[in-house]
């Protein structure tokens, strides 16, 4: 019997080979590719995960959304963070490898419009935004974070327009470059992910907010709505978008562990701390101790 037990343990060890780390959520290394427009919230989730699991290494790459998807299709990233579900064509990557396609909704973010501090524009309707994009000539430039921006895709899908007048838009080299362009051009409207300015306790977020002006958006009743946490929670802000996590890992490892962590209580508290709407509402319990200290 003792020999059989030893033999069983040996076979089990051999079957794991050199990849035993992929079965652990608290050790090992993965590559995470994320849409650059959601960099702050993804960075916050990565830092929280590594604080809980110090032996984990998460190599983060921030780039346009479609390039992040491509990295996963090329087996160069175990996890991607983007602002949409995968298309039917992209999902074939999962079906061809017999991997369940289980997109994880992590948070509700917003597409935020910003202008120069000295700009005379304070609010904008969706129709006015659409008119600028398709106008033959416009004195106003719409600035996106890059030429294949997820924000641009979002706006095009929202208005169901295929042909935007490229003379009226400017593609920056990332979100910070878009913000810098707005700061130096009074006729520009920047389109950024709200998570870049939503964390009220973060010095970088506060610095950006101090240097630009956030536009109110008119809803269908002509109410002016800012992308505040309360308005996002109440689904009042017209330009909301979801943040999705996708992983190609089949077995439990750092990839699946990170996705589960981000959508569980601690990860959702990180989302709320960042000033975004957690996708999963975590019940909070308060205990009031009236005893003397």
Separation CA 179–CA 289 (nearest Å): 47
291 within domain boundaries: no
99, 149: one domain: no
Interacting residues of 4 by C-beta distance below 8 A, sequence separation 6+: none
**For the chain, what is the domain count?**
2
Domain that holds residue 161: 108-241
27, 46: one domain: yes
92 within domain boundaries: yes
Residue 107: phi and psi, rounded to 5, are -160, 165
pLDDT, residue 280, reads 84
Condensed to tens digits (0 to 9), the pLDDT of residues 82-125 reads 999 999 999 999 999 999 999 999 999 999 999 999 999 999 99
Give the CA radius of gyration of the chain. Answer: 22
Residue with tokens 């101090």: 210
Condensed to tens digits (0 to 9), the pLDDT of residues 118-166 reads 999 999 999 999 999 999 889 999 999 998 999 999 999 999 998 888 9
Separation CA 57–CA 27 (nearest Å): 8
pLDDT, residue 283, reads 53
pLDDT, residue 9, reads 33
Is residue 182 within 8 A of residue 188, CB to CB? The reply is yes
pLDDT, residue 119, reads 94
SS3 (DSSP) at 12: helix
50, 79: one domain: yes
Intervals of the chain under pLDDT 50: 1-22, 286
pLDDT, residue 136, reads 87
pLDDT, residue 24, reads 83
90, 140: one domain: no
1 within domain boundaries: no
9 within domain boundaries: no
Separation CA 26–CA 21 (nearest Å): 9
CATH of the domain at 149: 3.40.190.10
183 within domain boundaries: yes
For residue 238, the 8-state DSSP code is: S
């Amino acid at each position: 019997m003792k020999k059989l037990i030893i033999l069983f343990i040996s076979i089990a060890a051999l079957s794991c080979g050199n990849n035993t780390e992929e079965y652990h959520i608290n050790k090992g290394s993965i590559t995470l590719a994320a849409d650059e427009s959601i960099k702050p919230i993804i960075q916050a989730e990565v830092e929280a995960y590594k604080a809980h699991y110090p032996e984990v290494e998460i190599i983060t790459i921030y780039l346009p959304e479609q390039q992040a998807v491509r990295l996963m299709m090329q087996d160069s990233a175990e996890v991607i963070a983007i602002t949409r579900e995968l298309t039917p064509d992209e999902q074939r990557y999962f079906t061809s490898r017999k991997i369940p396609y289980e997109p994880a909704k992590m948070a509700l973010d917003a597409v935020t419009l910003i202008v120069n501090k000295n700009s005379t524009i304070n609010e904008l309707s969706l129709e006015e935004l659409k008119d600028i994009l398709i106008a033959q000539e416009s004195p106003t430039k719409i600035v996106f974070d890059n030429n294949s921006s997820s924000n641009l895709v979002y706006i095009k899908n929202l208005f169901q327009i295929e042909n935007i007048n490229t003379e009226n838009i400017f593609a920056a080299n990332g979100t910070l470059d878009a913000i810098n362009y707005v700061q130096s051009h009074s006729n520009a409207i920047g389109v950024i992910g709200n998570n870049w300015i939503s964390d009220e306790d973060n010095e970088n977020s506060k610095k950006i907010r101090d240097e630009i002006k956030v536009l109110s958006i008119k809803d269908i009743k002509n109410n002016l709505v800012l992308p505040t946490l309360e308005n996002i929670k109440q689904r009042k802000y017209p330009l909301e978008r979801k943040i999705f996590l996708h992983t190609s890992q089949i077995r439990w490892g750092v990839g699946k562990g990170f996705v589960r962590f981000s959508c569980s209580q601690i990860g959702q508290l990180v989302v709320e701390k960042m000033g975004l709407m957690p996708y999963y509402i975590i019940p909070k319990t308060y205990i009031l101790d009236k005893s003397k200290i």
